[in-house]
Structure 1
Amino acid sequence: MQSTANTEHDAWWSAGETPRKPKIAIIGLGYVGLPLALSFVEGGAEVVGLDVDTRKVDALLEGRSYLGTLDDAPVQAAMATGRLRPTSSAAAVAGADAFILCVPTPLTRQREPDMRFIHAAIRSISRYVGAGALVCLESTTYPGTTREVVAELIAQRTGLRPGADFCVAFSPEREDPGNAHFGTRTIPKLVGGMTARCTRRALSLYRVGIDNVVPVSSPEIAEMAKIFENVFRMVNIGLVNELKVACQRFSEGGVDIDVHEVIDAAATKPFGYMRFFPGPGLGGHCIPIDPYYLSWRAREFDAKTRLLEIAGEINAEMPRYVVERLIRGLSRQQKALYGSHLLVVGVAYKDDIDDVRESPALKIIRLLREGGAEVHYHDPHVEALSVADQAVPALADLNADSLADFDAVLLTARHRRVDYEPVLEHAPLIIDTRNIVGRDAVDPERLVKA
């Protein structure tokens, strides 16, 4: 497989015309669509950003970012070019050379693929997809979606033939919010088209905004590659979470083993090992959800995904395990979960961001409330929080006076903006799920690793 970095643009969108940059319609301006739009604008393209959320559109028109990991400056720079047009009107995408779908792909309550956002996006744009257009799906989904859902639905609504009259491709998003080393432009981009021509056109398009575009032989290869990336992480996190539980059981039995020291020791091997860290469970838009797209589709072909499912079960149990460790810690101090006052520090699903989607902290808060505890939270990135449609009170500052009201503090994210020293000094009990507290930093009777 060869990279296509630094190759000449094949501007199929202006064939026979005066050379021009493409007009791109991006459907969905969330954590994937907005950074992608900015990258294309930076490359000189004209971008129409379509989103049903008028608050997002209004924010962009005012030069404001609504993503916690994206500053206002890139938005203002893009708007100043006149080549970024945010809108909630589908008619604005008329005349686009390419349509890129960046919409959510959640699971139903039965853990089956929820395609309603993809269907809605196709309904909104299909009348504007003309002969020669390119349609790309970026939303993570099961292998076969691009060909069997996107291409077929557009064909049914337009009468055009996919792969012949219009091109279709899959190019999975690989966003990593908060990553200071890789951004939309510098993360290598996979592209797989329904035909070789579709792939070439998608490659040419993405080269406008992405430094390194990598072709694969089909949409299904690209779809499975994205799923595999997330399955790989899910399984390894499940493995290290299981190791964490085992090490804690060893320690309780008199054989003291610190899982984090084990991880550091193993990492001295310069080959055949990759470092993963345990935590309170999985969170975010990808890892807790995407692997189940694979297991759902695999059942259709009588293929087993046992390792994936076991890892999912291990990770799903981590919030409950954290609560169990808390209960044991409270018991050592002759306290019960029922009626206790608890503080959860860090409710975003990962460090230094404001995204709480699928955050294990939310599951922990729900379990604590079900057990009769009163729960507050502290997170400088999250201004307001609701769990099960009930608001969670926020604690503005961590200090001796504010911490005096709590029986225990649970550390569920490691934010650089949080000063943990007051917790170490004043919390009567600390439940550390992120290895924030050194084993010798506080009295062992006040510290529970979870």
Structure 2
Amino acid sequence: MKRLIFLNIVFIAQFVLADSALKCSPLNELGDNIQNVQDVNCEQINKSGQCEEAPPVDANALRNKISRLLDLSVEPSKIEAAKRNWSSFVSQNPWAPKMYAERSQYEIQEKLPPTPIMDWFSDPKFAEGLKSKEEYKKAFIDKYVAFAEKMECTPTFRASDNYVEPHPSVKGFTAEKMGREEKDMRLRKLKEEINDPKNVQAVKDRMKKISDESADRFYVCRDKPDLDSNGLPPARYTVSQRYQPCAGNFKKNFANNKHDVSQPELGKLLATPEADELSKCIKDRLAQGAKVHHISINASASSLNNTGDAEKRFCKKGFLGLSEARAETAKSKILPGLFEKAGQGSFDLSKAKIEVNAKGANGDGTSGPCVYETKNGKEVLKPYYNTKAGQEELDENRYVKVQVTFEDTSKKVNDNIPKYEPMYRCKKIEFKCE
């Protein structure tokens, strides 16, 4: 019986080899065929990953456009029409919502006049040390055009005063499980700290620095905190945040094209300040009785072409493949190492909810703008990315972030925790592509 089985195997093997000789390339060409498949695959990936040529930005046209809109926003006739019927005015002038400060329903119902965006931002009653409206207007137009040229798009923007800046030296406190007497005592002490001349001066210095940079950042803050009628910071409530998440970014350990770490490299990575801080945070949270709710791993590459081994593995523009490999390294090597370093080597990560996102901000494995342009039919790096600022931007768009989020095993999800901290109201104008 064994001999019969052996003869059958030999016969089948010969049939397969003979069939291969008729239909396939010789065995010594198999490696070439695989490489050809890889080349075709890379050709498709590289083509789809190629930066699309954006239409050239007409700087003069954009400058004229935004200048005209700023001028229109301050025309008395426009303000009067907007005051009478805001909804009708917006329908006839789609540009209006972004050229005026945010409007409340009360302002609209009471038919109060809208505030032009440059008047709103340069209001001297809001903060000290602000620049003139004309200076802000010039800087705004320049920034608008520069943003368009850099991002190769038509910009839009959003203005809001819903930002806050914490006191630079007075940290406040959380009143969880705190009795009334203790809370009142801490509030009195907090009031003294806020009014302490050295802390008052610290705020003024901080806000002056912000005002000095405001024509570039378009961010300004008051130097007087939000206080209630008793001169105390109002309670701010955080929901189900007794244990803040632990997070770290290991981009320094993933230089351009790098996607894996060897055991010696992993040991060095786990000895870095980022790993020390993250593992200590995990250890402290679990020691306090927290429970791991979920773990997030977010990875991204810049849009610099892959080279070397990364190009062979993922193709020149296989950014998603590179980013996914980085995320997998974080999941399979860095994460277990962090828990072991935190004294939680027995923690079963296979039972934890781990969310992985390697798509980056652009959805293709990258974050940030395209770094290439086409000249004479060839793809070349934009000059900006050879500068220090450009290199720093590339570094920001390359990341491997690990975050561990916790929940309290003894508290309900909707529990509110009051925190008392001096906060300072800020205004900001942010640019983005339409």
Please say whether Structure 1 and Structure 2 have the same fold, judged by a TM-score greater than 0.5.
Answer: no
State which structure, 1 or 2, has the greater radius of gyration over its C-alpha atoms.
2
Q: Which has a greater percent of helix? A: 2
Relative contact order (alpha carbons < 8 A, sep ≥ 6): 1 or 2 greater?
A: 2
TM range (shorter): under 0.3
TM-score (norm 2): 0.22
Instruction: Compute the TM-score of the two structures, normalised by the length of structure 1.
Output: 0.21
